[in-house]
C-alpha cells in the first residue's frame, strides 16, 4: 500500500507568493467507492449475505448519526471515533453568547492507534509535473514517512514533525477548541 501524490507546478493566485510558480502537492484520488461496492466486499469477507450486510450498514449509519447528533463520540470499528463539533468565536460577556458566534459545523474524526501507525508506515509516491502537465520527476519513499529525494540528501524539509498532523501527537489542537468551556480551535 502507498499514498500517491502529484506535485503540479501551479501559478499562485493569492498571498505573498502571488504571480510565482510553485509545486503544489495533492493526493491522487482514483475514485469514490460506492456504498454498494463496499457492502458487496464486506459481505464477501464476512460470509454474510449482501442483504443482511446492507441492513447492518444502514442501521449502523442511522445509529451513528443519531448518537452523534445527541453529543456522543461514536466508535467506528477499526477506524476510530467521530463526533460533531462547531467552530465559533469567543466573547467576553455571557450576554453576547448566541448561535451567531458559530462559523462552521463540522465532523471531527479521531483515528485509532492502528490507523495512525498504518499511515505513518505507508510509503509515499510523488509524481511531479511541470506547468504544461509533463512528468518531470518521481519521488518514492518506503521508509515509514520520511520522503526521500535522491537529488537532495538533506533532512525531510517541509515534512512536518508530527505524523498525525496538528500541534499535538494526537493530531489535535492544544487550545481545546470544541470543549464545553468554549473557544475556537483555531482552524
DSSP secondary structure letters along 77-93: TTTEEEEEEEEE---SS
For residues 147-161, average pLDDT: 45
Among the ranges 1-5, 74-78, 139-143, which has the highest mean pLDDT value? Answer: 74-78
Cell 509545486 belongs to which residue?
Answer: 23
Higher-confidence position of 58 and 120? 58
Q: Which three cell numbers stand for residue 32?
A: 469514490
- pTM given for the model: 0.57
47 Cβ contact partners less than 8 Å away, ≥ 6 residues apart:
none
Mean pLDDT is lowest, of 35-44, 55-64, 177-186, for 177-186
For residues 150-156, average pLDDT: 48
Task: Please check the confidence at residue 124 and state whether its pLDDT lies above 60.
Answer: yes
The answer to whether 2 and 122 have CB atoms below 8 angstroms apart is yes
For residues 149-173, average pLDDT: 41
Task: Please check the confidence at residue 171 and state whether its pLDDT lies above 90.
Answer: no
d(CA 78, CA 75): 9
**The pLDDT of residue 175:** 37
Mean pLDDT is lowest, of 17-26, 53-62, 120-129, 154-163, for 154-163
**The pLDDT of residue 79:** 93
The answer to whether 24 and 7 have CB atoms below 8 angstroms apart is yes
d(CA 35, CA 19): 42
d(CA 123, CA 31): 20
**The pLDDT of residue 165:** 37
d(CA 39, CA 61): 13
Amino acid at each position: 500500500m502507498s499514498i500517491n501524490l502529484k506535485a503540479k507546478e501551479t501559478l499562485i493566485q493569492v498571498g505573498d507568493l502571488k504571480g510565482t510558480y510553485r509545486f503544489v502537492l495533492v493526493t491522487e484520488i482514483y475514485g469514490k467507492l460506492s456504498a454498494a461496492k463496499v457492502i458487496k466486499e464486506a459481505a464477501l469477507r464476512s460470509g454474510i449475505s449482501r442483504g443482511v450486510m446492507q441492513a447492518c450498514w444502514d442501521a449502523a449509519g442511522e445509529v451513528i448519526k443519531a448518537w452523534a447528533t445527541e453529543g456522543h463520540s461514536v466508535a467506528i470499528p477499526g477506524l476510530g471515533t467521530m463526533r460533531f463539533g462547531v467552530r465559533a468565536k469567543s466573547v467576553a460577556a455571557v450576554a453576547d453568547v448566541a448561535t451567531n458566534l458559530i462559523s462552521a459545523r463540522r465532523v471531527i474524526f479521531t483515528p485509532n492507534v492502528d490507523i495512525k501507525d498504518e499511515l505513518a508506515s505507508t510509503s509515499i509516491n510523488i509524481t511531479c509535473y511541470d506547468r504544461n502537465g509533463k512528468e518531470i520527476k518521481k519521488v518514492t519513499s518506503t521508509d515509514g514517512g520520511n520522503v526521500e529525494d535522491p537529488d537532495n540528501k538533506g533532512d525531510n524539509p517541509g515534512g512536518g514533525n508530527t505524523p498525525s498532523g496538528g500541534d499535538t501527537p494526537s493530531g489535535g489542537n492544544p487550545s481545546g477548541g470544541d470543549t464545553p468551556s468554549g473557544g475556537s480551535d483555531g482552524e
